[in-house]
Amino acid sequence: MSARGKKEGKEIKKKTGQTGTQTGNSYAASPDREPTANLALILQELRDFRQDNKSQLEEIKGEITKTNNRLEEAEDRIEKAEERLQNVEGVLSEMLKLHAQMETKLTEQESRSRRVNIRLYGIPEGAEKDSASVTELVEQLLGDNLDIADTTTLQIERAHRSLGPKPPPNAQPRSIIVKFASFRTKEMVLSKAWQKKGLMLEETRINVDNDYPPRILQRRKEYAEVRKALKERDIKFQTLFPARLKVRYREGDKIYDTVEEATKDLAKRGFNVVPVKQPETMMERLQKLSWQRSGRALQVESSGTPHYKERLQAFRRDDPPHNVDSG
């Protein structure tokens, strides 16, 4: 190799060595700067994440506040509605009591207006066709059966069939209502008819009873199964006014005020009757459906459950120290 070639080789090696040294220094310096850059990037990302979370939390708090306001408004309305409902129930209860009192008085007045009346049950439909009127038919029936020669002493003001459509053939005929001029005459006729255990029209037995208001009549009819069971054992009984039953047992008399009381007692005595339960009155139904106010404060105290704001405080995160952002 010539002297010139050796000289060029030395220069190349020298340049290569310098470049390698510079490159090596560059690579040696980069590991010190990379952790700092990465840490700054992470901190910036944490700041952004924290800011995003803070914004989202603010939105959530705002929604919770709105929801709370709506809940409080709804609770206030519910409390007012509860109070109003209780007032309505109180008024309704008083009205039901007043209605019961008025119904009782109305029944009493209707009973008084019917106290001079009797009812004849079992007279066939159309039997009055052979007489000039229903009144004449009744006068003849009472005169023949009660041995009353002068029927004018009966002083019958009027007699007519009970209101309602004419029943079909072979059905129970409508009763005939008879009004007398005096209560004394009516009681005399009724007493004689009961002594004879009814009247006879040709071969038909006619039953006689007081003219009761529909409400009382319905209550008296409820004892039908009880009376049937008593007749089967030949036990005497009497239906008292307005709708009570007096039964003469061997050990003594017993009075039942309701059909429920009568059927329960007869069933215990071994009679073939099914106990009857009286339907609930409107007052009893109202008492079962009465609204029970709880109250918001009472609910919190009784349950021991903390308010929603107190529950949210448990999830609240304290703000981190401000020096975390430095570095």
User: Is-contact 121 167, C-beta < 8 A?
Assistant: no
320 within a domain of the structure (yes/no):
no
246 within a domain of the structure (yes/no):
no
324 within a domain of the structure (yes/no):
no
| Alpha carbon distances (Å) from 176 to 126, 147, 168, 294 | 12, 21, 17, 59
List the domain range (segments joined by +) for residue 181. 115-211
127 within a domain of the structure (yes/no):
yes
184 within a domain of the structure (yes/no):
yes
User: Is-contact 272 229, C-beta < 8 A?
Assistant: yes
Matching residue, tokens 């959530």: 60
Q: Give CA–CA dist 281/294, Å, rounded.
A: 27
Matching residue, tokens 């009346």: 117
44 within a domain of the structure (yes/no):
no
Matching residue, tokens 């340049």: 15
pLDDT at 44: 83
∠ CA 251-254-259, rounded to 5° = 135
pLDDT at 221: 92
Mean pLDDT of successive 10-residue stretches along the chain, which has 327 residues: 49 47 46 72 84 88 91 90 86 89 92 95 92 93 87 88 91 95 94 92 93 92 94 93 93 94 94 87 76 49 49 50 42
pLDDT at 149: 73
pLDDT at 237: 94
Look at the chain and report how many structural domains it folds into.
1
pLDDT at 32: 57
182 within a domain of the structure (yes/no):
yes
User: Hey, which bits of the chain come out as E strands?
Assistant: 117-121, 156-161, 176-180, 199-201, 204-210, 237-240, 244-249, 252-256
pLDDT at 297: 43
CATH code for the domain in which residue 179 is found: 3.30.70.1820
Q: Note if the pTM is more than 0.75.
A: no
Q: In angstroms, how far is CA 212 from the centroid of its own chain? A: 33
170 within a domain of the structure (yes/no):
yes
